[in-house]
Amino acid sequence: MRNIGQGGFYPAMSRIVFWLLLGTVLLSPFPFGAIFPWSYTLLALIVGALVLIWSTTLLIAGSPPPVTLRMIALPAALFAAVITWALLQVSPFTPEA
């Protein structure tokens, strides 16, 4: 792997992706105030591209992800419970009010 600066490839790319993501988050209210679908579609594409770049950087660097499954187990379980409840509410198996 090629070193960039003193920290190497992963820290440099991680820093770049962080600042791009921060800029995207700071500018994200603008597309949601627009009436044209291309504006918030562009926001979704930018976030997706940044996640893809970050994931590729992790794979190239060979380092483990900074967030383990154990760290997100409780939030993931709570999210799954909410999604399950929402699916139950819209399913045809429940009686109408």
What pLDDT, in 10s, does the model give residues 15-44?
888 899 889 888 888 877 778 888 888 888
pLDDT higher than 80, residue 86: yes
The more confidently predicted of residues 3 and 42 is: 42
Angle, alpha carbons 59-80-28 (nearest 5°): 60
Number of Cβ within 10 Å of residue 43's Cβ equals 19
Q: pLDDT band at 7, cuts 50/70/90? A: low
pLDDT at 76: 95
For 68: left if phi > 0, alpha if psi spans -120 to 50, otherwise beta; the answer is: beta
Outline where 1-97 has alpha helix (H). Answer: 9-27, 29-32, 37-61, 73-90
Per-residue confidence (pLDDT) for residue 32, from 0 to 100: 74
Distance separating alpha carbons of residues 44 and 21, to the nearest angstrom:
12
